[in-house]
Structure 1
Amino acid sequence: MLDTFTTRLTALSRFLPTLALGLAGGALAFWLDVPLPWLLGAMFATTLASLAGAQLRSPGRGRKGVLVVIGVMLGAAFTPEMSGDLSLWGASLSTMLLATAMMMAFSVWFSRRVAGHSLDTALYAGVPGGVSAVTGMALSSDADLRVVGMTHAVRILVLLVAIPPVLDGIGHVSLTAATPAPDRWLWLPGPADAAWLASAGVLGAWLGHLVRLPNAMLFGPALASAALHLTGVTHAAVPPTLLALAQVIIGVSVGVRFTGTSLARVGHTLVMAVLQALGLLAIAILAAWGIHAGAGVSLPAALLAYMPGGAPELSLVALSLGIDPAFVTVHHLLRITVLILLMPVLLGACRRLSA
């Protein structure tokens, strides 16, 4: 036990410089009044440092803890008052699945015909979501894991960078979040609410793994917290400091994925990944606009719900901007679940067609 504690303490100490860089980037972005400052500031700082050759450390287990916290935060968005909006969710979820099928078809075609990747690589790199589960599944295939990982990392980076200008372009939402008063930065829920939320995080993560939920550390606590909030057991709000720290950790998690990346060696992969991500973003925008025009679904919420991948990142953006986090979370959970269940079937069908 002592060895385990020492190992974790050593890993934490090695991560602290990376965390400090992320906090500095977030603080600078906050001072410059950048949209989503703590997330984008930390992401830009660590991405640039990684591409410059800095050997940054991943949050490791710390990211899992942050996912639990984000899940509990997302669950707070599920309230009894939201029942009136559920009539629109069926049409939106169906549209999202249709858009996901179009994204999958486009990304596989692009990866095969334009980027020149193998079938296995094209399939696993093209899945619009569930990067952790997809990467794990790709280990037992003939896919190029470097291309798969790089494509998913670049896609998340492109989506997060695109969110502020796209939302600003479509209107309907203010990107200028109100700055909490100094005393609000130190606010925490009361002991009873804190106990309920902690229980939701611990039990939700355990149950998520037990029932094999995709991204169990995020969606398990989210569902447990949602149950508490829907039943009125607690109405605890999100502490601003905790939300800012979660954004920094997630931003750092994206940036450190580029550690050890040589632009000269993987330039082609990076360019192809960016172009593919832009194509998928265009499909998401069209689908979101369609469901907004046809059924009156909130355009910003539909856009975040339909974006291909990055469930923790996109749900956190929805939470940070107050864009219907419950709606966005449910859509990403359904998408990832369907994709993981259908991946073996899709892989087998594509192999038979190409034989």
Structure 2
Amino acid sequence: MFPGLTSYLPTILAGLAGAALAALAGVPAGALIGSTLAVASVSALGAKVGLPNGLRDLAFATIGVSLGSSVTEEVFGQIGTWGISLAVLVLSLIATVLTGRMILTRGFGLDPQTATLASSPGTMSNAVAIAAEGTGDATAVMFLQLTRLLALVILVPPLAVALETSETTHALVQTEMSLPALAGLLLTALGLGMIGSRSGLPAASLLSGMVISSSAHAVGLVHGATPAWVIFIALTLTGAVLGARMSRVTIRQLRRFAVAGLSTVATALVVSLLFAAIAVEMTALPFNQIWIAYAPGGVEAMAAIGLSLGLDPAYVAIHHFARIFALIFIIPIALKL
């Protein structure tokens, strides 16, 4: 699964060092942010960074399994309230895409197709794949998506903590899942994720992990939460993946698209905050819990942030699951407008 793993050791070690330092410093979502910045810094110094796809998928599947472990029979009693929140989420996604496209076309002269794909608040791999097939400027889409991803990974956790208005930390199941049970869920998730990836499903390993884990926990086949040390490693590897993606950015791209990328990030943050405030009034759910579910970052990154901040994993999992499928329908429609 991990051929030539030794060539990836610099990335792994940099990620672990950054994650440990950030966690010790008390940085919100420290493992994720520290690893991302450390690997991006190593890349900027000229080192070759990256992780094998198998290790990346294992990290994403672990996050999915961890999120799904909080789905129990009691969760289904909240579906009515969450349904309202999910409806507002879809409106938030539409508004984010349309406002981002307007800014990039009118303010920076990008064509509508490129602007639409660059404004997609999640499923980066899907947006880049569409661009690579000849829709819009693939280079611009890649850079703007990467800018959004890195900025939000750094900005969202401290903002969520600063905006916290009530006690929202979700008490996870105290007992830990047995390692054999965890291994079984991960193997199943990786198998289904492989099938989903071949079918073009974005974040397939993360989604399969959520579905398998939530189903097993809901019917009582598996009990307990993912061990904390496993979550730490998964967040560290996810951060390393995000940091390695930044190595694709060139100085020329940075000069050309930096302001445009930051403008779309700022706009997307404002839109998500506004719709989160609307959802709070309609559901009375905690503000920062809703906002993390609405935050316009990559699905893997935002799900990892929600997990690391201790927010209700079931709520975050269901909303990011819905986000992926909503965007799969929204983006093609927006491209035809």
TM-score of the superposition, structure 2-length normalised?
0.90
Matched, 1:79 2:72: yes
**Who is 1:254 aligned against?**
242
**Who is 1:113 aligned against?**
106
Contact preservation (8 Å) 2:166, 2:286: no
The structural deviation recorded for 1:263 is 3.5
The structural deviation recorded for 1:94 is 0.9
Q: Which has the larger radius of gyration?
A: 1
Given the alignment, which residue of 280, 284, 306 partners 2:272? 284
CA RMSD of aligned residues (A): 2.6
Contact preservation (8 Å) 2:64, 2:210: yes
Bigger mean CA deviation after superposition, 22-31 or 337-346: 337-346
- Structure 1 pair 147–123 and aligned structure 2 pair: CA distance change class (3 A): same
Matched, 1:221 2:209: yes
Bigger mean CA deviation after superposition, 254-263 or 228-237: 254-263
Letter in 2 for 1:275: S
**Who is 2:124 aligned against?**
131
Give the distance between the partners of 2:216 and 2:48, measured in 1 at CA: 42
Give the distance between the partners of 2:282 and 2:305, measured in 1 at CA: 25
Give the distance between the partners of 1:68 and 1:346, measured in 2 at CA: 30
Bigger mean CA deviation after superposition, 317-326 or 337-346: 337-346
Give the distance between the partners of 1:262 and 1:174, measured in 2 at CA: 42
Give the distance between the partners of 1:14 and 1:93, measured in 2 at CA: 43
Which secondary structure does the structure 1 equivalent of 2:3 belong to?
helix
**Who is 1:88 aligned against?**
81
The structural deviation recorded for 1:169 is 2.4
Letter in 2 for 1:47: A
Given the alignment, which residue of 296, 303, 310 partners 1:315? 303
Letter in 2 for 1:99: S
Contact preservation (8 Å) 1:96, 1:287: yes
The structural deviation recorded for 1:188 is 6.8
The 5-angstrom pairing of residues 7-46 of structure 1 reads 8-10=2-4, 12-46=5-39
Structure 1, unmatched stretches of 5+, are 179-183, 350-355
Give the share of equivalent positions with the same residue, in percent.
Answer: 28
Letter in 1 for 2:297: G
1:54-108 CA-partner distances (Å, limit 9, x unpaired): 3322443321121122111111021112233222111111111111111011111
Which secondary structure does the structure 2 equivalent of 1:163 belong to?
helix
**Who is 2:322 aligned against?**
334
Give the distance between the partners of 1:124 and 1:162, measured in 2 at CA: 22
Give the distance between the partners of 1:161 and 1:299, measured in 2 at CA: 19
- Structure 1 pair 64–113 and aligned structure 2 pair: CA distance change class (3 A): same
The 5-angstrom pairing of residues 57-76 of structure 1 reads 57-76=50-69
Matched, 1:303 2:291: yes
**Who is 1:345 aligned against?**
333
**Who is 1:181 aligned against?**
none
Given the alignment, which residue of 219, 242, 249 partners 1:231? 219
Give the distance between the partners of 2:89 and 2:324, measured in 1 at CA: 12
The structural deviation recorded for 1:196 is 4.4
**Who is 1:243 aligned against?**
231
Matched, 1:273 2:261: yes
The structural deviation recorded for 1:168 is 2.6
TM-score of the superposition, structure 1-length normalised?
0.86
The structural deviation recorded for 1:9 is 2.7
Give the distance between the partners of 2:126 and 2:188, measured in 1 at CA: 23
- Structure 1 pair 344–23 and aligned structure 2 pair: CA distance change class (3 A): same
Contact preservation (8 Å) 2:28, 2:309: no
The structural deviation recorded for 1:202 is 4.2
Contact preservation (8 Å) 2:169, 2:312: no
Contact preservation (8 Å) 1:59, 1:253: no
The structural deviation recorded for 1:297 is 2.0
The structural deviation recorded for 1:173 is 6.0
